[in-house]
């Protein structure tokens, strides 16, 4: 094969290789793929917001039911004592004290979910803004690239510029687009990682001693309330039925009439 034929074959090979790479690494398709990935991540964050809000509502309904039972047990204790059934009054107050502890745990869960909901909503807002900004930038780059590509082809058709110039320009365009793509993906990933904080639920040391001391204090409180009821005072109340469950155990424990 002569040198001229070999040079011609190398030129044809480089031209076909460049066109193949352009089809495989079309920056417009790369930008669209990156945008689709960010939209999927945003949808995942929105789904997480909905799930946390659902869990929060479930706890709220459970707390309202506990609040109604809390009030009902107080009324039952007062009615039993009025009928001379101190044993029934004591049993009602014991159940009431146990329920108050359960409500306290529920209040902690409700507060944690409320804080997590606010954090996820903030992440969602920021990620939504980022995705919207990326979409605008993506469409601008695509339009600019398409216009530049058309101009290059027109100029080549008129002036017969060699394919090597086009290869250099395409390589630069692909490199810039890949950098922008990775920056956008990195920003979106940071937001998702930041929203995945877990709450440490492990028990503190000496938790068994704390529980025993709490049980002793609770029994002493029941005895105090029982003595107060014998003196004519009713069990402590906290808010309207159902709606005041968040305030149970938050105010002073002295019985009120």
| Phi–psi pair at 84, nearest 5 degrees | 80, 15
CB 226 within 8 A of CB 253: no
Token pair of 37, please?
């990935």
Cβ count near 34 (within 10 Å): 21
Q: What is the pLDDT of residues 129-161, one digit of tens each?
A: 988 888 888 888 888 888 887 877 777 676 655
Alpha carbons 225 and 223: distance in angstroms, whole number = 5
Q: How is the chain split into domains, by residue range?
A: 24-167
Q: Report pLDDT for 199.
A: 37
Please identify every stretch of the chain with a pLDDT value under 50, giving residue numbers as ranges: 196-203, 253-257
Alpha carbons 88 and 101: distance in angstroms, whole number = 20
CB 163 within 8 A of CB 11: yes
User: Mean pLDDT for the chain?
Assistant: 76
Q: Report pLDDT for 61.
A: 93
For CA atoms 222, 223, 224, 229, give the dihedral sign: positive
Residue that has been written with the tokens 């949808």 in this structure? 43
Alpha carbons 57 and 242: distance in angstroms, whole number = 14
Alpha carbons 121 and 136: distance in angstroms, whole number = 23
Q: Report pLDDT for 188.
A: 66
Class of domain 24-167: mainly alpha
Q: How far is CA 220 from CA 7, 77, 139, 235, in A?
A: 100, 17, 71, 15
Token pair of 78, please?
């007062």
Strand positions, DSSP E, the chain:
none
Question: How many alpha carbons lie under 13 Å from residue 18 in its C-beta half-sphere?
Answer: 17
Alpha carbons 14 and 35: distance in angstroms, whole number = 31
């Amino acid at each position: 094969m002569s040198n001229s034929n070999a040079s011609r074959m190398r030129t044809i090979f480089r031209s076909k290789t460049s066109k193949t790479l352009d089809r495989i690494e079309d920056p417009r398709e790369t930008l669209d793929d990156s945008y689709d990935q960010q939209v999927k991540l945003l949808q995942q964050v929105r789904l997480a917001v909905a799930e946390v809000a659902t869990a929060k509502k479930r706890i709220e309904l459970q707390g309202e039911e506990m609040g109604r039972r809390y009030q009902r047990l107080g009324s039952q204790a007062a009615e039993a004592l009025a009928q001379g059934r101190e044993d029934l009054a004591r049993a009602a107050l014991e159940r009431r004290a146990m329920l108050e502890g359960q409500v306290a745990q529920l209040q902690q869960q409700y507060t944690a979910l409320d804080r997590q909901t606010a954090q996820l909503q903030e992440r969602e807002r920021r990620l939504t803004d980022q995705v919207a900004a990326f979409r605008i930038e993506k469409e601008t780059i695509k339009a600019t690239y398409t216009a530049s590509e058309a101009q290059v082809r027109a100029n080549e058709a008129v002036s017969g510029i060699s394919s090597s110039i086009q290869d250099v320009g395409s390589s630069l365009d692909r490199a810039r687009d890949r950098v922008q793509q990775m920056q956008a993906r990195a920003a979106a990933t940071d937001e998702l990682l930041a929203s995945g904080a877990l709450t440490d639920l492990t028990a503190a040391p000496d938790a068994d001693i704390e529980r025993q001391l709490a049980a002793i204090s609770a029994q002493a409180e029941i005895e105090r309330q029982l003595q107060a009821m014998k003196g004519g005072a009713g069990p402590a109340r906290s808010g309207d039925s159902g709606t005041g469950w968040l305030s149970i155990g938050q105010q002073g424990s002295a019985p009120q009439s």
